[in-house]
């Protein structure tokens, strides 16, 4: 009669796939660990029991049970090891312990008293499905063994204790997975919290620098205002200098006219002196003294004419230089006007810059405020995750 090897491990082995371990030598960035659903190997849980044929009697089945008190049941199989029934130890002993049990059941084929519809689970079936099937049975067969097969061939059985052990190991695996997930979430929250903290610090630094830029911009705007005021004063001074130059040109023209008049008078005096000298010569000895005076007057008229000519030339030179000065003053005034326009434009640019920096500072302050709130939320979540990890452990 075929028997399956009697092997039952003390500690079941659970194989977890796709688990990645992180070490301190890894990069600073968090490595996301991807873990699949824990896979339970049923080969480590089912146990072997005696196998009976269709012609085995209850007495023979009792002898098989007595050979090893650890066997919880006998499985009935055909010649291909396909299960056809299940007889639990308690059921067999209850039948054979009666007053007339030996006469009634001892020679009866075990197939007549066995459970012809036992629960059969394939070796590749999910552990959770097997547990659900086992727990969903009626009270009459709740503690019956589950038959484990592969391609309809019997491999072994699972007792309710084995099912509970399987369920407990699944719970442990789920708990470990939950702890791992919570730990990873806590690390991720910590990373987010650190990133938010750096963001808040950067935003505060941006606010500080924006305020400094605003102060510098305000100072630049005030400096341009002073420059514009200086340009206006210089422009006024140059306009005043232009007016004085115009007055000087008028005075030079007046002086030049006076010089021409003096020269004309000198010419007339020279002619009169010449005429007087001629008349004095006609007078002879009596006119000699007058002739000397007339010569002196003629010499004085000549000197006066020369002085008037020099004065006229000097005034003409001064007039030319004054005209050049007036032209330079006008050109400088034009340059100052253009510079004043640029200064005014620069002041408007500083005001726009100040407004833009003020908006940037406001946005940075809002970012810092929202970042602070996000950091508080992240810290609260991290604390809750720590509590979950502590409770799980």
- Interatomic CA distance for residues 90 and 72, integer angstroms: 8
Would you say residue 219 lies in a domain?
A: yes
Return the pLDDT at 160: 92
306 or 101: whose pLDDT is higher?
306
In this structure, what CATH number is given to the domain that contains residue 315? 1.10.287.950
Buried b (16+ CB within 10 A) or exposed e, 63-87: ebbeeeeebbbbbbbeeeeebbbbb
Total tally of structural domains belonging to the chain: 2
Instruction: Give Cβ neighbours of residue 276 (< 8 Å, ≥ 6 apart).
Output: 290, 291, 293, 294, 297
322 or 284: whose pLDDT is higher?
322
Q: If pLDDT is split at 50, 70 and 90, which confidence band does 286 have?
A: low
Return the pLDDT at 392: 62
Q: If pLDDT is split at 50, 70 and 90, which confidence band does 104 have?
A: confident
In this structure, what CATH number is given to the domain that contains residue 41? 3.10.580.10
Q: What is the mean pLDDT of residues 190-211?
A: 84
Would you say residue 287 lies in a domain?
A: yes
Highest mean pLDDT among 283-292, 352-361, 380-389: 352-361
Percent of the chain beyond pLDDT 70? 87
Residues 244 and 101 in one domain: no
Residues 153 and 226 in one domain: no
Pair 349, 205: CB distance under 8 Å = no
- Interatomic CA distance for residues 363 and 253, integer angstroms: 70
Q: What is the mean pLDDT of residues 271-288?
A: 74
Q: What is the mean pLDDT of residues 178-187?
A: 84
Would you say residue 171 lies in a domain?
A: no
pLDDT reading at 393 higher than 70: no
Which is it for strands 146-150 and 51-52: parallel, antiparallel or unpaired? unpaired
What residues make up the domain containing 139? 14-158
Residues 243 and 316 in one domain: yes
**Residue 196: exposed, middle, or buried by beta-carbon count in 10 A (0-12, 13-18, 19+)?**
buried
Residues 216 and 147 in one domain: no
Residues 110 and 239 in one domain: no
Query: How far out from the chain centre does Cα 287 lie?
Result: 120
Residues 39 and 111 in one domain: yes
pLDDT reading at 262 higher than 90: no
Pair 187, 84: CB distance under 8 Å = no
- Interatomic CA distance for residues 319 and 304, integer angstroms: 22
Residues 233 and 150 in one domain: no
Where a domain ends, among 158, 178, 199?
A: 158
Q: If pLDDT is split at 50, 70 and 90, which confidence band does 13 have?
A: very low
Residues 20 and 111 in one domain: yes
Would you say residue 2 lies in a domain?
A: no
pLDDT reading at 304 higher than 70: yes
Where a domain ends, among 128, 158, 188?
A: 158
Where a domain ends, among 158, 191, 226?
A: 158
Return the pLDDT at 180: 86
Would you say residue 163 lies in a domain?
A: no
Say whether 45 sits in a helix, a strand or coil. Answer: coil
Mean of all residue pLDDT scores within the chain: 78
Pair 39, 94: CB distance under 8 Å = no
- Interatomic CA distance for residues 76 and 85, integer angstroms: 5
Instruction: Give Cβ neighbours of residue 192 (< 8 Å, ≥ 6 apart).
Output: 378
Return the pLDDT at 32: 39
Say whether 151 sits in a helix, a strand or coil. Answer: coil
Highest mean pLDDT among 130-144, 181-195, 344-358: 130-144
106 or 79: whose pLDDT is higher?
79
Query: How far out from the chain centre does Cα 202 lie?
Result: 10
Residues 41 and 146 in one domain: yes
Instruction: Give Cβ neighbours of residue 42 (< 8 Å, ≥ 6 apart).
Output: 121, 123, 125, 127, 130, 148, 158, 166
Residues 244 and 354 in one domain: yes
pLDDT one-digit tens code per residue, 45-58: 999 999 999 889 88
pLDDT reading at 191 higher than 60: yes
pLDDT reading at 42 higher than 90: no
- Lowest-pLDDT range of 31-35, 68-72, 108-112, 325-329: 31-35
Would you say residue 110 lies in a domain?
A: yes
Return the pLDDT at 29: 38
Residues 216 and 350 in one domain: yes
Return the pLDDT at 258: 80
Q: What is the mean pLDDT of residues 283-294?
A: 71
Would you say residue 64 lies in a domain?
A: yes
Return the pLDDT at 39: 66
pLDDT reading at 248 higher than 70: yes
Highest mean pLDDT among 144-158, 266-280, 305-319: 144-158
Q: What is the mean pLDDT of residues 342-367?
A: 80
Would you say residue 383 lies in a domain?
A: no
- Interatomic CA distance for residues 142 and 146, integer angstroms: 10
Return the pLDDT at 75: 94
Backbone angles phi, psi at 90, to 5 degrees: -60, -40
Residues 152 and 215 in one domain: no
């Amino acid at each position: 009669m075929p028997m399956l090897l009697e092997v039952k491990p003390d500690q079941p082995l659970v194989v977890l796939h796709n688990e990645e371990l992180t070490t301190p030598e890894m990069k600073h960035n968090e490595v996301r660990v991807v873990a699949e659903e824990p896979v339970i190997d049923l080969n480590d849980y089912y146990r072997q029991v005696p196998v009976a044929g269709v012609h085995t009697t209850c007495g023979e089945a009792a002898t098989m049970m007595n050979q090893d008190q650890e066997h919880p049941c006998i499985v009935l199989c055909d010649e291909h090891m396909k299960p056809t029934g299940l007889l639990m130890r308690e059921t067999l002993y209850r039948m054979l312990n009666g007053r007339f049990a030996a006469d009634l059941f001892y020679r009866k084929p075990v197939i007549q008293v066995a459970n012809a519809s036992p629960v059969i689970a394939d070796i590749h079936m999910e552990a959770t499905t097997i547990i659900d099937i086992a727990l969903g049975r009626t009270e009459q067969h709740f503690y019956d063994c589950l038959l484990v097969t592969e391609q309809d061939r019997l491999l072994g059985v699972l007792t309710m204790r084995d099912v509970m052990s399987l369920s407990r190991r699944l719970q442990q695996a789920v708990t470990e997975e939950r702890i791992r997930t919570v730990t990873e979430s806590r690390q991720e929250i910590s990373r987010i919290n650190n990133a938010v903290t750096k963001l808040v610090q950067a935003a505060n630094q941006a606010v500080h620098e924006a305020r400094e830029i605003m102060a510098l911009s305000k100072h630049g705007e005030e400096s341009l205002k002073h420059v514009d005021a200086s340009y206006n004063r210089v422009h006024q001074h140059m306009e005043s200098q232009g007016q004085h130059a115009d007055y000087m040109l008028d005075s030079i023209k007046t002086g030049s006219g006076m010089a021409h008049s003096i020269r004309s008078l000198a010419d007339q005096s020279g002619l009169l002196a010449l005429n007087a000298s001629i008349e004095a010569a006609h007078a002879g000895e009596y006119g000699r003294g007058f002739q000397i005076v007339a010569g002196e007057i003629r010499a004085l008229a000549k000197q006066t004419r020369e002085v008037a000519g020099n004065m006229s030339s000097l005034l003409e030179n001064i007039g030319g230089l004054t005209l050049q000065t007036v032209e330079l003053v006008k050109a400088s005034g034009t340059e100052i006007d253009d510079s004043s326009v640029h200064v005014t434009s620069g002041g408007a640019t500083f005001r726009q810059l100040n407004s833009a920096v003020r908006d940037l500072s406001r946005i940075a302050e809002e970012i810092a405020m929202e970042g602070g709130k996000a950091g508080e939320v992240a810290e609260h979540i991290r604390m809750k995750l720590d509590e979950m990890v502590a409770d799980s452990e």
